[in-house]
Amino acid sequence: MLVTGAGGSIGSVLARRVLDVEPEGLVLLDGSEQNLHDLALSLADHPSAGRSTYVLGDAGDVGLIDDLVQRHRPQLVYHAAAHKHAPLLESQPLAAIDNNTLTTVRLLEVCAGRIDRLVMISTDKAVNPCSLMGASKRLAELVLLQADSPVATSLRLGNVWGSRGSVVPHFEWCLDQGRPLTVTHANATRYFMTEDEAAELTLAAPVLGDGADILVPDLGRPLSILEIARTMVAERGLSAESYVRIAKLRPGDKVTEELHRAGERLQPSGHSGVGRIVGPIPNSEEVLAWVEELADAVARRDVSDLIERVRAILPEYAPGPEVLELPETRRGRASKP
């Protein structure tokens, strides 16, 4: 088994869960030296630690993935590697598309005919995306939907409670520093799940999904970010009036998120709390064509052309002003007749 992004919040919990069932072998790949080091330390005392191989590298490195598949022969790949911070990625279009979309393409190509299943961690931000993070993951979903080999499934998750970079640890850090909690919008809500829930669903995905599908968990009612902030402040005996402030949406943020688009029919899966979206399946030739166009724009570092191509592929994608006003985007528009 191979896990990409193994040092991340979901990947690390997933790694431990896999070791609990004593796999024949587990390859843990991460592009961050620190994340991989921390993961190795956290798993050092696990009874199955000797079954793990830690690899520092990029999930989009074709030579590396080819070598790992050839040497370790994994039957299953969990693809959790991704850039995830939507506001940051609004100013990094090339990195967003290259890492989240094109890396998935390369991984799929190398694994074709050589593994049984590939499961990718997607996001609710891929639904009617207004951010490059969401658009890049929606493009990756489309790539997997048309794959003949390996059998591929995407799993749309909401915010993972307590994961690095998520709102709750950030609020805790602010309170520890004596700083006020900044809420981006009074009506902002998000879907939440725990790391264990995310890992359980990821492990179950090969059984719940038949391939060429997207799995969508029932995450219940989305939670108010303002209410979370008020509760955390009250638990420390502080005043919400003094410690909670309403600001404005960050680049790439929505007020509310969605788990599926209008027109996406949810079918039953093998789990009462998970729906399965099947199709429409994109045309393979069309997908191949636009993948080449995206790769060409990234290689040329042509941000303006890249954004235009993403908008053409995803008519529902509405880029924010931060993307449209990037110097590279404005220069590209100005240079065209």
CA gap 182, 228 in Å, rounded: 11
Token pair for 263: 């027109």
Q: Identify which of 97, 124, 131, 83 has the alpha carbon closest to the alpha carbon of residue 317.
A: 131
CA gap 25, 74 in Å, rounded: 8
Coil, strand, or helix at residue 207? helix
DSSP-derived secondary structure letter, 98: I
Q: Which of 84, 125, 137, 254 is catalytic?
A: 125
**Read out DSSP for 296-331?**
HHHHHT-HHHHHHHHHHH-TT----HHHHTSHHHHH
Residue 68 in contact with residue 2, Cβ under 8 Å?
yes
Burial environment of residue 220 by CB neighbours within 10 A (0 to 12, 13 to 18, 19 or more): exposed
In sequence order, the 6+-apart residues with CB closer than 8 A to the CB of 97 are 132, 136, 139, 294, 298, 306, 310
SS3 content of the chain, % helix, strand, coil (to 5): 45, 15, 35
22: left (phi over 0), alpha (psi -120 to 50) or beta: left
Q: Identify which of 257, 295, 241, 260 has the alpha carbon closest to the alpha carbon of residue 106.
A: 295
Coil, strand, or helix at residue 115? coil
Does the annotation count 248 as an active-site position? no
CA gap 164, 184 in Å, rounded: 19
The catalytic site residues sit at: 125
